[in-house]
Amino acid sequence: MEDVFAEPKIDCHVHVLDPARFPYAADTHYRPAGQEMGAAAQLLRVMDVYGARHALIVGPNSGYGLDNRCLIDAIAHSAGRCKGIAVVANDARRADLQALKDAGIVGVAWNVTHYGVDYYADAEGLLDRLAALDLFVQVQVEHDQLVPLVPMLERSGARILIDHCGRPTPAAGLDQPGFAALLRLASTRRAFVKLSGIVKFSREPYPHDDARPYIDALIGAFTLDACMWASDWPFLRAPQRVDYGVLLALVLHLFPDAAQRHRLLWKTPEALFRFTA
């Protein structure tokens, strides 16, 4: 385990939740508390312990909604170690997106698992603006939610990040419509997948053997040049206890080859998000 701890890595999905400095929105649908919270300084300490040199901080819908101030502050005080994914309205103006990009944002999040598919029906213009600014659209779906979104994503020209393996339904098999739609996106050559969040869809205990066929299929379609790793720290609304070290042990279990781990943990996300030493 010491080797995987020491290997250089980029954690491609974390959250910062700091209601003491950045209070939650009064109308938020969920107020993260206790072990779900994690301030920026705490994140950097976790990164230091586990060898994560950089991180992609994702603005959470829980607590903050469209308020990106906590996210931007965390990036600004990370000494270049962090970049971010913001949450914006579908009608966000190009000037506002440019300001976010200037502050270290590399894309915007679509949380379809929360808002539903219909919420993004009018978002084609947003995709056009993201493509023009070379920003990602980061999409979190589950089950078959991706199916109606794929035509719009394919037309857009925007670079696409899929969260948590697309959160398939393990019992439904590799040919389930949502997962088949995800594999179809590989042919765009501008879609990328986070091999993360396995606890969100697996129905088996560690090492989550029911997720293995989906991970293998994603690597087969996208290759490791379009796949990356993420922890999902601090494990907001996790269905069971999750520990960072155990997640890295799972990486070692799934990818015993050091060269493959280097591509997954470092080389691919470093190039994709343009991190510099």
Task: Give me the residue spans of the domains in the chain.
Answer: 2-273
Q: Which amino acid is located at 1 in the chain?
A: M
Asked if 77 contacts 106 with a C-beta cutoff of 8 angstroms, the reply is no
Q: Which amino acid is located at 82 in the chain?
A: C
Total length of the chain: 277
Average pLDDT over residues 155-161: 97
* Model confidence pLDDT, tens digit, residues 169-178: 999 999 999 9
Average pLDDT over residues 144-153: 98
* Model confidence pLDDT, tens digit, residues 44-54: 999 999 999 99
Q: Which of 83, 93, 87 is nearest to 25 (CA)?
A: 87
pTM above 0.95, yes or no: yes
- pLDDT bin (cut points 50, 70, 90) of residue 242 is very high
Q: Which of 142, 140, 137 is nearest to 155 (CA)?
A: 137
Q: What is the percent of the chain with per-residue pLDDT over 70, rounded to a whole number?
A: 99
Distance CA 66, CA 75 (A): 17
Whether 1 shows a pLDDT value over 70: the answer reads: no
Average pLDDT over residues 110-130: 97
Distance CA 43, CA 197 (A): 18
Tell me, what's the pLDDT at 239? 87
Tell me, what's the pLDDT at 276? 80
Tell me, what's the pLDDT at 277? 60
Asked if 237 contacts 206 with a C-beta cutoff of 8 angstroms, the reply is no
- In the CATH scheme, what is the homologous superfamily, with its name and number, of domain 2-273? Metal-dependent hydrolases (3.20.20.140)
